[in-house]
Structure 1
Amino acid sequence: MSNQLRIGSSIYINYILLGMINLIIALHMGFLTEQLNTDAAAISALISAIGIGKLIALTFAGKLSDNLGRRPMLITACFLYVVFLVAIPFAPTYTIAFMFALLAGMGNSILDTSSYPALIEVFRKRSSSATVLVKAFMSVGSTILPLMITFFMARDMFYGYTFFIMAGIFLINALHLMTLKFPEANRLEEPKEETKQDKKPIKRLIFKEKPKFLREGITVIAIGFTSVGLFLIIQTWLATYAEEVVGLPEAQAINLLSVYSFGGFATVIILATLLDRLFRPITALIIYPLIAIAALTTLLFVESYTILIIIAFILGMATSGLFQLAVTLMAQFFPEKKGTSTAFVTLSSSIGFITLPYVTGLINRHIGVSYVFMFEIIIALIAVVLAAFISYRYRKVFDLEVRKPVMWRNP
């Protein structure tokens, strides 16, 4: 196996495990409530601690990734997760468990700010596809974890075995990463003279003018926020809407979420196949929210379970992978600071994860769940406006007709 594929495999394995970690506290809530002598609300706060740790680490993770390189940061993230996964099943008090949850959140930020830039630098010709696949592997992890938990529960085995298996894989992966050679971080390729022997020149981005953080950067960061809103709100409230407004039984309402997740997995595979070949990330960032607006509007006027299944699948397809596309776009605008730019987009998504559930909860409490989806339509409209603006700036910043490696051209 080539060094390139080994790096990609290691990163994707980490994200399979991260897909499991995102659910592991919630799915072990009963065990942890008893172990830590607390209640479900406190365990929910434990999940929030992971988000807090993520925000803390974002203040330094991106810069360290750019300065120290991707490999040491990836290895650090693996070891932080090993500590978290081994410690939680043995945590004697809630305070100690909370501290280790903060550690897991820090590992998440370090993983993101090193993995996305590494994928972009390793798979230069297919960077958009490489980053979008992260979402697919996270979906694999979120599918595997319930099966593991069911296996151990059926045999009345200690719940911590799930944690220990994941810790073991992280440890092995960290040792494997130590043997790999990564490309130089943030290396900008120098242009090469094209010759007659160049039968298949590769289309690369060349700058016509230097992008500005307060213009292109802030816009992509805002897209990172809206991309989280588009899938998080649907994931949180779709089943509730189906039960309370449409009147579906609980089992059918939950089934809509499975269909939604399947649609998301399908679109990630489609994006990974077609991106950088047929269209650029910016195209998907415009088209997908438009599809979401149409599906959400239809959702508010139908009561047929069959049609709701179709809508759920379309919403899954239209709202998945957008965050990864925003990360790729940010790295294209600011290739000399990939780790730092990734940290900014991740920061906006973290703010979305913290604020949007609270805001939509208030909307549901005071005026009803239907208005939650009207709020979602507004977010989708904002996403379209942001994507249209960044598409305009994309054509201004990059010379899309030039077939040369990435370089700076003075305006």
Structure 2
Amino acid sequence: MKNIYTKMAAGLYINYFLLGMINIIIASNMEALSKQLHTSAAGVSYLVSAIGIGKLISLLFAGKLSDTFGRRPFIVAGAFLYLIFLIGIPLSTSYTAAFIFAIFAGIANSFLDSGTYPALIEGFPKNASSATVLIKAFVSIGATVLPFFIAFIADRHLFYGWTFFVPGIIFFLNGFFLLKVPFPNHKQKDDGGLTEAFPPDDTFKSQPSIWREGLAIILLGFSSTALFMLVQVWLPKFGQSVLGMPEVQAVKLLSYYSIGALVSVLLLAVLLNRVIQPITVMVLYPVIAAIALLALIFIHQPAVSVISSFVIGLSTAGILQLAMTVMAVLFPKNKGTITSFVNIASSLSFIVIPLVTGAISKAAGLTPVFLLDIGIAAVSALLALFIGIRFKQVMKA
């Protein structure tokens, strides 16, 4: 029997397809924005911090309100708030205005996250892990498409702002679509359907602790976001400044990165719990990412750069989504609120990482920035290992 929430899921995944574009849209248009806003590359990267500020502020209440009033209002509001960002940034005449519009994007992001993850878990309880990991698949598709769209615009000498306007139009139409499709009852008690993603009996051997495994998942929310966001912000500039690539080719490294992420999440959607467990993925992926980052930093060959970008995308995709699903399993009450804690940590990463890496790039160049990412990968692997140990201790097999 067809799930009645399939249309809802389609609309949610379209949002995250567009979000994949937005995640790299500032870095991909760094040169144009630097000229328009009369600032440096580091200054443009700080706009990503503004997104983090907006996300952090709104996550303090968005999760709770999502649990109270339902998922739909916040998802639709997020789509319309993204429209403000996508129209405002290309038309900004000052850095201050652009910074404010970036804050709107952060608020939109938190509204989408606070509604979307719980809605998918509630709408597809027997496939919760696959449903949430597919979010990353659509993010990756969007991020793969955008560099080619930018090249299309550039080849025709059109205003770069069309790379913002077109996603904005789609957000606008999709928001109205989501107003009309059915959503699950957010107050309905879980039926244990999360069982396909994790151990089949979701009763506890001992009560999970928010200050132990909960805190570790929250920290993983920070480190896993930092792991992929650092690459998304700085990979094109690294390609230009360190690898000596032309701008268009350097931006296309993000496409190879995104293709790797897409391959990863499609494989995860099929293989999770059939061949490999979520916790195993959360431990192994950061290790693979660290190896690929080392190759990118120290082997300056075009083919190696492409392969490394692909593998980095492959090995950073889905960790955050799996962390939020694990959080919802361990703490099943008020999923919107509990997953918002992970999102708050993710938002802090959006604020801290651009500021820190911007300062590092000014003082020492981009190679130390990517060395920092290797350290973040190591921390992510250790956190995931601890979460895996605790998960086995508290959940009945």
Is the shorter-chain TM-score for this pair beyond 0.5, marking a shared fold? yes
How much does 1:318 deviate?
1.6
Note closer, same or farther for the CA distance 1:68–1:15 as it changes in structure 2 (3 Å cut): same
Aligned partner of 1:140 in structure 2 is: 141
| Deviation by residue 1:167-192 (Cα, 9 ceiling, x = unmatched) | 33223222222222222226433579
8 Å CA contact 1:88, 1:100 repeated in 2: yes
Note closer, same or farther for the CA distance 1:153–1:129 as it changes in structure 2 (3 Å cut): same
How much does 1:219 deviate?
0.4
Aligned partner of 2:120 in structure 1 is: 119
8 Å CA contact 1:126, 1:275 repeated in 2: no
How much does 1:132 deviate?
1.5
How much does 1:5 deviate?
1.1
Residue 207 of structure 2 is aligned to residue 206 of structure 1: no
The whole-number CA distance in structure 2 between the counterparts of 1:43 and 1:303 is 26
The whole-number CA distance in structure 1 between the counterparts of 2:241 and 2:164 is 36
SS in 1 for 2:281: helix
Residue 46 of structure 2 is aligned to residue 10 of structure 1: no
Note closer, same or farther for the CA distance 1:259–1:48 as it changes in structure 2 (3 Å cut): same
Residue type matched to 2:136 in 1?
Answer: K
8 Å CA contact 1:121, 1:186 repeated in 2: no
The whole-number CA distance in structure 1 between the counterparts of 2:315 and 2:9 is 26
Aligned partner of 1:250 in structure 2 is: 245
Aligned partner of 2:227 in structure 1 is: 230
The whole-number CA distance in structure 2 between the counterparts of 1:392 and 1:9 is 35
Aligned partner of 1:407 in structure 2 is: none
Note closer, same or farther for the CA distance 1:225–1:44 as it changes in structure 2 (3 Å cut): closer
Residue 170 of structure 2 is aligned to residue 169 of structure 1: yes
Residue type matched to 1:272 in 2?
Answer: A
Note closer, same or farther for the CA distance 1:189–1:27 as it changes in structure 2 (3 Å cut): closer
The whole-number CA distance in structure 2 between the counterparts of 1:176 and 1:358 is 37
The whole-number CA distance in structure 2 between the counterparts of 1:49 and 1:362 is 16
SS in 1 for 2:206: coil
Aligned partner of 2:282 in structure 1 is: 285
Residue 331 of structure 2 is aligned to residue 334 of structure 1: yes
Residue type matched to 2:266 in 1?
Answer: I
State which structure, 1 or 2, has the greater radius of gyration over its C-alpha atoms.
1
Residue type matched to 1:21 in 2?
Answer: I
8 Å CA contact 1:186, 1:336 repeated in 2: no
Aligned partner of 1:129 in structure 2 is: 130
How much does 1:7 deviate?
1.1
How much does 1:110 deviate?
0.6
The whole-number CA distance in structure 2 between the counterparts of 1:300 and 1:86 is 36
Aligned partner of 2:196 in structure 1 is: none
Aligned partner of 2:49 in structure 1 is: 48
Name structure 2 gaps, 5 residues minimum.
194-198
Aligned partner of 1:180 in structure 2 is: 181
Aligned partner of 1:265 in structure 2 is: 262
The whole-number CA distance in structure 2 between the counterparts of 1:374 and 1:95 is 31
How much does 1:396 deviate?
1.6
Aligned partner of 1:405 in structure 2 is: none
Aligned residues: 388
The whole-number CA distance in structure 2 between the counterparts of 1:242 and 1:150 is 16
Name structure 1 gaps, 5 residues minimum.
193-201, 401-411
SS in 1 for 2:333: helix
8 Å CA contact 2:201, 2:396 repeated in 1: no
SS in 2 for 1:126: helix
SS in 1 for 2:11: helix
Percent of paired sites with the same residue? 46
Q: TM-score, normalised by structure 1?
A: 0.81
Aligned partner of 1:196 in structure 2 is: none
Note closer, same or farther for the CA distance 1:161–1:190 as it changes in structure 2 (3 Å cut): closer
| Deviation by residue 1:9-46 (Cα, 9 ceiling, x = unmatched) | 000011111122334445556766777x7445665544
Which stretch has the larger CA shift, 366-375 or 107-116?
366-375
Note closer, same or farther for the CA distance 1:234–1:160 as it changes in structure 2 (3 Å cut): closer
Residue type matched to 2:353 in 1?
Answer: L
Q: Per residue, is there more helix in 1 or in 2?
A: 2
How much does 1:339 deviate?
1.2
SS in 2 for 1:344: helix
The whole-number CA distance in structure 1 between the counterparts of 2:314 and 2:326 is 20
Q: TM-score, normalised by structure 2?
A: 0.83
Which stretch has the larger CA shift, 325-334 or 298-307?
298-307
| Deviation by residue 1:143-173 (Cα, 9 ceiling, x = unmatched) | 3334444555555656555544433322322
8 Å CA contact 2:62, 2:114 repeated in 1: yes
Note closer, same or farther for the CA distance 1:206–1:306 as it changes in structure 2 (3 Å cut): same
The whole-number CA distance in structure 2 between the counterparts of 1:186 and 1:283 is 32
Which of the residues 374, 387, 390 maps onto 1:393?
A: 390
The whole-number CA distance in structure 2 between the counterparts of 1:232 and 1:376 is 10
How much does 1:319 deviate?
1.8
How much does 1:258 deviate?
4.1
How much does 1:311 deviate?
3.8
How much does 1:349 deviate?
1.6
Aligned partner of 1:408 in structure 2 is: none
How much does 1:317 deviate?
1.7
Note closer, same or farther for the CA distance 1:92–1:221 as it changes in structure 2 (3 Å cut): same
Note closer, same or farther for the CA distance 1:371–1:324 as it changes in structure 2 (3 Å cut): same
The whole-number CA distance in structure 2 between the counterparts of 1:370 and 1:159 is 29
Note closer, same or farther for the CA distance 1:286–1:13 as it changes in structure 2 (3 Å cut): same
Residue type matched to 2:351 in 1?
Answer: I
8 Å CA contact 2:225, 2:349 repeated in 1: yes
Note closer, same or farther for the CA distance 1:161–1:331 as it changes in structure 2 (3 Å cut): same
SS in 2 for 1:336: coil
